[in-house]
Structures are given as structure tokens and as C-alpha cells.
Structure 1
Amino acid sequence: MSGENKTRVAAIGDLHISDTDKGKWTDFFADVSKNADILAICGDLTDTGDESEAYILVEELKACSIPVVGVLGNHDHEKSRHKLIRQVIQNHPNVHILDGESVVIGPVGFAGVKGFGGGFDNHMLSMFGEGAMKSFVQEAVEEALHLDRALARLDQEHNNIKKIALLHYSPIKETVKGEPEQIYPFLGSSRLAEPLLRRNVEVVFHGHAHVGVLEGNIAGKVKVFNVAKHVLKKVGYGRPYFLYEI
């Protein structure tokens, strides 16, 4: 870990690894390993949700010498092979893909879920009407519950540990601004924000909103960063990872 009791966490989302990416990420992972203690990846590890892309990512990750923790995204679910993708990637030593679970790396506790849509604040979709609509809202509710349970386990097992949450979907509207307002309900949900605030999470990383905003917060207390690769490049990060010291 870095000096002065600080842990450097590098965060990026939306890698979208494709079958043509062999060798393209080696320098990235080597550079991250020199400048951070832990790498967090916030979903859409693959581009089309095919396990062949996951195998390529595992090969690229051989250049990464630090622990990796991440969550899956909607692209990883595209072909309903997300369980296989998770298994393939976690076969790499020292990689943790979280789905309603938590893990402690050094002095930091990570909790992660994919999250889901549903909209924000006063414009959240309600569990009313057709069964399909209720199912959509229920998915967001369940993801928030899984997140809360993962954070609760960290609190129960590790008193006063610093907590970082990893999501793919956003818990706030602020970091998706720039995207068309019509698609906000598909970019995240405020239902995810409540457990983050109540469980005193220090920082949240998410992706998914490619033309969103880098930084926001929940009630002025929980920092939120949209670390989608596209956002980081837009604001000037040459090698697109965000570095946070905790």
C-alpha cells in the first residue's frame, strides 16, 4: 500500500473488451499496477456478453500485479452468459467480481452490485400498473437490498472499516447529466442511494453513462464518481483510470 496509511484505488468502468482487443490493454494494466494499490472495474467488462471476450480480458490482466475488484454490467448480461463470464474472470488469481457480496482488501472494504434502472428522485418509477412495470421496479429494489446486505456484512465483520461501493448503474442523477433525459430511467436509480448514505460509504464508483459527468454526491456526504472510460477520456485522462486515495 502507499505511504502515510493511504490506499490508492484506481477505478474505471465500461472496458467493453472485444475479440479484437488482444494486446490492447496490457500497457494499461501495467501502468495501473505502478500507480495504484487496487483496481476497481465498474461493469461492462465485455462488449457483447460473450465468454470469449472474458478470456481475452483474463489474458490482458496478466499484466496487472495488484488486486482487482469489480462488478458486471448490462453488456455482460446480453447473452445470459454472465455467470460464465464471472467464473472465467475470477479464475484469474486475485480478482473478485462482486454480485451482492463484499470483500476486504487491505484496509478497505468493497461492496458491489450491478444495480439497475428506475429513475431518480421525484421521477423514480413506482411499482404500479402492468406486471412488466412492477418487475422492472422490483429489480431495482432487489439490487438495492443486495447492496445493503453486502455493506451490512462489512459493518458486522469489520468495525469502522472504510467502505467503497462499486456499481454499474448510477445511484444519482448528477453523474448521468449529458445523456438524453429520456433515458435517465435506464441509467440508474435513486433506490441505490439510500443504503449508501445510511451505511456511511465513503465513495461510490459507477459507469454505464458514457457521456455523463465525472463527479457528484449523495446529500453532500457520499462521493460519487462516474468512471466510465468514455467520461474519463472526455475530461482529459490520458490512460483512463481515476485515482482515489482512501
Structure 2
Amino acid sequence: MEQESKKTRIAAVGDIHVQETDKGKWTAYFEEISKAADLLLIAGDLTNTGDEMEAEVLLEELRSCTIPVVCVLGNHDYEKNRHKLIRQVLQRNPAVTVLDGESKVIGNIGIAGVKGFGGGFDNYMLSMFGEGAMKAFVQEAVDEALHLERALSRLDQEHEGIQKIALLHYSPTSETVKGEPAVIYPFLGSSRLAEPLIRHKVVAAFHGHAHAGHLSANVSGVQVFNVAKHVLHKEGVQEGFFILEV
């Protein structure tokens, strides 16, 4: 009975944008997270310019983190097309997992992670029509949603009764990007990402990317949190990281 009531404290943050000049800047931050939580999720934009040397700095800073860390990459991490190198660097720390269409189980928590992509929300989603470039843009959003679907399906098939969490960079709902200019909504996320969350009864989804957005929303029973560090600061989360007990 005691085991059933035990909660997992999940810390989440996104858009930390680590730079080469950040050596020593994050040590105390990760130490504080380790005291407050059992698991850390980082929702993309781990680096500032997508350089593997920035990832090396983050790798060193994460030595002060004594709990498991699960990440996805963001658009900044893709800037120099060195995203594979960034992933390899960070995963030299055995406590760090970088997901890209995969899942990770820690205790009774199953995390499915993808970067996601843009495409717009609800009745304003872009459709697969027109020029090849437009179709390719929409196809990227469809592919990311499919990767998320597969990762969540795998959790359902292999781990019955597990608590499912989704980790994204782009938003699955317009509700958590409110505060950003409406004209850039198509580049902040896509409702296609919400469909797998709802279908697989995900407990919560975390994302970043929309720095001027809103902290939380409920999408058909799924709690969605925009944990971009800028949003946490704006919403008065003094610690600089969000905590959810599951």
C-alpha cells in the first residue's frame, strides 16, 4: 500500500540555451533540482547555437545533477546540423538520455520524447496542399506526431499500467503559446502532436520553445506545461524549474 502511494517528483525546464561561456553557471541550479526532484526533464534548446562545444559545457555542468535526466533536442540544437554530435556528447553521462522518437522508463514513469514541429493549431493547421516546400513542412509535423505515437504505443505494449509522460520541444496546443504573436503560431507547434497524447491517456506533457507563452493548459484531460525557462520566470516560479508530482 505504501508503494502505491509513493509519488515521483518530476522537475522540468526547457530552453536553457547553454553557451560556451556558461562554465560553472548551472552547477548550483542542477544541485538544487537534485534536492527537489527524483527526475529531471529538459524540453529542448539545450544549447544556444547548436554547437557541440556548448553541449560539452552542459555535460560538465550536469555532473552536479544526481538524479536521472531525460532530454529532447530543440530547434536551436539543430541550427548547425550537429544535433547528432550534441546527443552523443550528452549521453557520455550514463544518467542522461536524449530521446528522439524513443521512450525511457524510470521507475513507474514512462517518458516518450520527440522534438515535435510546427504546423499550426486546430482549424488553422496547415494542410498537405500546394508547393512541394509546403508539403514537406507539413510532412515533418506529421512524421514527428507519428514518432510520438510509436513511442507511446511501445510504452503501452511493454509496460502495462505505467504512468506516461510526453516530453516535447514544440507545443501540442495553442493554449500554452498564448502571449506570443498570433502570426507565428504555425512555427510554435502543432495540434497533430496532441492526438497521440489524448489517445494514449498521457498524464502530462512538457514542452518549451514559446518563450512568451503560458505555463499550463488542459487538453482533453491531458495536462500540458510550457516549461521554457523564460515562461517560468514570467509566471513567478522562483526556483527556475517546474515540479509535478506523479
TM-score (norm 1): 0.98
Counting aligned pairs with the same residue, the percent is 69
Structure 1, unmatched stretches of 5+, are: none
Shift of the alpha carbon at 1:239? Answer: 2.3
For residues 184 and 130 of structure 1, what CA distance do their matches in structure 2 show? 20
1:49 aligned residue: 50
Shift of 1:93: 1.8
- Distance in 1 (CA, whole Å) between partners of 2:218 and 2:44 is 20
Quick check: 1:132 aligned with 2:129? no
User: 1:93-172 residue pairs with structure 2 within 5 A?
Assistant: 93-172=94-173
Instruction: Give the counterpart letter for 1:93 in structure 2.
Output: P
In the other structure, the counterpart of 1:81 is: 82
Residue of structure 1 in register with 2:180 after alignment? 179
1:162-219: CA deviation from partner (whole Å, max 9, x where unpaired): 0000000000000000000000000000000001100110000000000000001212
Once residues 26 and 237 of structure 1 are traced to their aligned partners in structure 2, the CA distance between those partners, rounded to angstroms, is 19
TM norm structure 2: 0.98
Report the counterpart of residue 6 of structure 1 in structure 2: 7
Determine the structure 2 residue equivalent to 1:239.
239
Aligned residue identity for 1:88 = V
> Residue type matched to 1:99 in 2?
D
- In structure 2, distance between residues paired with 1:105 and 1:146: 20
Comparing 231-240 with 24-33, greater Cα deviation is found at 231-240
Root mean square deviation of aligned Cα: 1.0
Structure 2 unaligned spans of 5+? none
Q: Distance in 1 between matches of 2:64 and 2:5?
A: 27
The 1-side partners of 2:107 and 2:156 are apart by 15
| Runs of 4+ with >2 A deviation | none
Deviation at 1:94, TM superposition (A): 1.0
Cα distance between partner residues in 1 of 2:156 and 2:164: 9
Q: Which amino acid aligns with 2:99?
A: L
- Residue-pair matches, total: 244
Residue 38 of structure 2 corresponds to 37
Q: Give the distance between the partners of 1:77 and 1:37, measured in 2 at CA.
A: 29
Give the letter aligned to residue 222 of structure 1.
V
Distance 1:142 1:183 in 2: 21
Partner SS for 1:178: coil
Structure 1 residue 238 displacement after superposition: 1.9
| Pairwise CA distance, 1:3 | 9.9
Once the two structures are superposed, residues 71-96 of structure 1 have per-residue CA deviations (whole angstroms, 9 ceiling, x without a partner) of 00000000000000001001112111
